Structure 1
Amino acid sequence: MNKIPFDAIGFDLDGTLLDTFRDLGAAVNHALVLGGFEEVSVETSKDLIGGGAKIMLARAVEAQGGLPQDEFKRLYKAMLAFYEQNNAVHTVPYPGVREALDELAAQGVRMAVVTNKFEAFARNVLTHLDLIGAFETVIGGDSMGKGEDGQFLAKPHPAPVLAARTATGGGRMAFIGDSTYDVRAAKAAGVPVIAAAYGYCDRPPHELGADAVIDSFAGLIPALHGLERAT
């Protein structure tokens, strides 16, 4: 077995470790119906995922004419409440996730989740799926607090990735995600990044700007070795 050439790996959650779109789509539709909007196809909800639940709902609402801010906030709170109770109904790990995490752990690689999902939601779904124990830390979209502009320091800001690197020992780290948010955050943190082409990519995978692209989670470990040769 070749030694993994990184001390730590950071993972995005939605569209990278977990196939979550069905539960996220159900939460969006719950809020849309409350607001008098048409439901969106659960399949097309994949296209709304990326910057977190608030952006996801905002895109769906804006596509149907938009809402005043106070009314949107009411729907957003309703969406979060629904998702809190229903965030692991249909959500599953992608094929090969458990096996790869086990192999990384066996080689002493330290692992973290960095997601724009609220930390409590991320921990809840990972616990439900019996995956939480694989990770030394889970950093959510709300974990780093807010910046001077009043917005959460979430991806594409580098702060969550930098915090994950610190929490996993400060050694050489790689990151894997499926969106421009992930790639931009990793690049800004000076961390090599792998794009998950099987996820909910907001651009064609090879246009995300990642250092490598994988078509399935089984390709992660070979890609990590490839990053070593390329750097």
Structure 2
Amino acid sequence: MVTEPPAGVLEKPKAILFDWDNTLVDSWPCIHDALNTTLVAMGQAAWSLEETRERVGLSMRDAFPQLFKDRWEEARDIFFARFKAIHLERLALTPNARALLETLAGQGVRLAVVSNKTGDFLRIEAAQLGLTSVFDALVGAGDAPRDKPAPDPGYMALAPSGLAPGPTVWFVGDSDVDLACAAALGCTGILVRPEPPRPGEFADTPPHAHVNGCGALRALLDRLGTGEPLPSSSSPDR
């Protein structure tokens, strides 16, 4: 499904910066497991999966001091230990992600990842999936002076392409943090998730378009500049 943007808003991208978790890879079960292991070990109540989806978005160095105060480094070590033990065995691309990336790379679109996943874990996962060579850069949490939603990792990700942020650079992600980063960079923000934005949900940084998955994003890109109507569907991306 594509939420059609106003006429003239979208320009065909020369580069796309992708979020990683729950945009290109299905990470919620793994993140939820490692986070609840950490919460319980730190004497806090476990979260439901829905709570995890709602509350997780910032990088660890931004989120954990708020959540665990002066014990955040202890919590970090617990999270990392559990995450390291399970993340590769549970690693899976979201539907149509590989086909989307291969098509874009074949068309000469410059691709990079800007993630709030710790950079080392991000690059290990990309290598495991055989995707390292598709991207100009894989920028994770801790790689830039500041993490998303600050623009710093976006500039770092674009550096190999020599392109400057602007309407022909898209930032594709599933969260408010991604849209805020897109706005900070001055890029075109694309929301990719099954459900459309709720009224007022992204009041400060509304997406230029919403698609329900990588397949719908590919369909949108295929039709840009052709004069054809944007594709739409009531069913989830598969």
Query: What TM-score do you get using the length of structure 1 for normalisation?
Result: 0.79
Q: Paired residue for 1:198, among 194, 198, 217?
A: 194
The one-letter code sitting in structure 2 at the alignment partner of 1:167 is P
Structural RMSD (CA): 2.7
Tell me: CA distance 1:159–1:11, structure 2 relative to 1, closer, same or farther (3 Å): same
SS of 1:125's equivalent? helix
Q: What is the CA distance between 1:132 and its match in structure 2?
A: 2.2
SS of 1:115's equivalent? strand
**Runs of 5+ unmatched residues, structure 1:** 62-66, 146-152
| Residues in 2 aligned to 1:205 and 1:132: alpha-carbon distance in whole angstroms | 37
Q: Paired residue for 1:222, among 193, 203, 219?
A: 219
Tell me: CA distance 1:94–1:116, structure 2 relative to 1, closer, same or farther (3 Å): same
1:114 corresponds in structure 2 to: 114
1:176 touches 1:196 (CA, 8 Å); kept in 2? Answer: yes
Tell me: CA distance 1:227–1:74, structure 2 relative to 1, closer, same or farther (3 Å): farther
SS of 2:171's equivalent? strand
Tell me: CA distance 1:13–1:55, structure 2 relative to 1, closer, same or farther (3 Å): same
Tell me: CA distance 1:76–1:227, structure 2 relative to 1, closer, same or farther (3 Å): farther
Tell me: CA distance 1:36–1:50, structure 2 relative to 1, closer, same or farther (3 Å): same
2:163 corresponds in structure 1 to: 170
Q: Percent identity?
A: 28
1:179 corresponds in structure 2 to: 175
2:110 touches 2:136 (CA, 8 Å); kept in 1? Answer: yes
- Structure with greater contact order relative to length (CA < 8 Å, sep ≥ 6): 2
| Residues in 2 aligned to 1:125 and 1:205: alpha-carbon distance in whole angstroms | 35
2:59 touches 2:147 (CA, 8 Å); kept in 1? Answer: no
**Runs of 5+ unmatched residues, structure 2:** 1-10, 228-238
Moved more, 114-123 or 130-139: 130-139
The one-letter code sitting in structure 2 at the alignment partner of 1:35 is M
| Residues in 1 aligned to 2:161 and 2:123: alpha-carbon distance in whole angstroms | 17
Q: What is the CA distance between 1:110 and its match in structure 2?
A: 1.5
